[in-house]
Amino acid sequence: MLSEKIVYIIVLTSFLGSFFYIKDIFLGKTKPNLVSWFIWSLATFIGVFFQIKAGAGLSVLPIFLAGFISFLIIIISILRKNAYWKINTFDIICGLISFFALLLYIFTHNLTISILFAIMSDALAYIPTIIKSWNFPNTETGLLYTTGIINNILGLLIIKSWIFPIYSFSISIILFNLVVLFCIYRKKIFKFL
């Protein structure tokens, strides 16, 4: 277990990744899928609440920052004309399913089941961004997903109580960010093979 002072690195890398993502939004390179970002913001804030109820300490910071940055990206994308990906029927269906999972998550009152629903909602919200990243990898900035992976690994390293509601959300974010990164960089990865 690392010292909780590692949170300074987590905050720094979060804002570093988000700075480049937001810069690319303003340059027109990155076009976030607002369905994904909205659900990510909502799911992570609810997840933080339940993780704190489970006894999480500063290890919850990467999840909180993911939600805060997601909210910030939504606001910037809405204010910046043509900065977001056009939402289609599939995105809306994924968003509705994610929102339904969040509602179930809120009303179960069981921390383990609640976290599972939050992870499911978060996972479903990744689908539109994964598809967009696969088909149009140049519309995403990989650095934000990389810093998300680093931050959640660091968050795992400061956990004091290893119970499912505390560590599971971070692990899911790491795995799904790896999938998005693979979609963004798959052509470059296969060039080297």
Q: Render the burial of 110-149: b for 16+ CB within 10 Å, e for the rest.
A: ebeebbbbbbbbbbbbbbbbbbbbeeebebbbbbbbbbbb
SS3 helix, strand, coil % of the chain, rounded to 5?
80, 0, 20
With bands split at pLDDT 50, 70 and 90, how would you rate the model's confidence at 133?
very high
Contact at 8 Å (CB) between 156 and 59? yes
For residues 158 and 2, give the distance between their C-alpha atoms in angstroms, rounded to a whole number.
5
Ramachandran class of 60: left when φ > 0, alpha when ψ lies in -120 to 50, beta otherwise: alpha
Out of 28-42, 51-65, 86-100, 178-192, pick the least confident: 86-100
pLDDT > 90? residue 129? yes
Banded model confidence at residue 178, pLDDT cuts 50, 70, 90: very high
- Mean predicted lDDT score pLDDT of the chain: 88
Q: What is the pLDDT of residues 88-104, one digit of tens each?
A: 887 788 777 877 777 77
Amino acid 51: pLDDT: 85
Encode pLDDT of 6-43 as tens digits. 888 999 999 999 999 999 999 989 999 888 898 888 88
Residue 36 near residue 144 (C-beta atoms within 8 A): no
Confidence of residue 109 (pLDDT cuts 50, 70, 90): confident
Residue 105: pLDDT over 80: no
Question: What are phi and psi for residue 158, nearest 5 degrees?
Answer: -110, 5
What is the pLDDT, as a whole number, of residue 190?
83
pLDDT at 139 over 90: yes
- pLDDT in the model for residue 19: 95
Average pLDDT on 153-158 reads: 93
CB atoms closer than 10 angstroms to residue 28: 11
- pLDDT confidence bin for 179, thresholds 50/70/90: very high
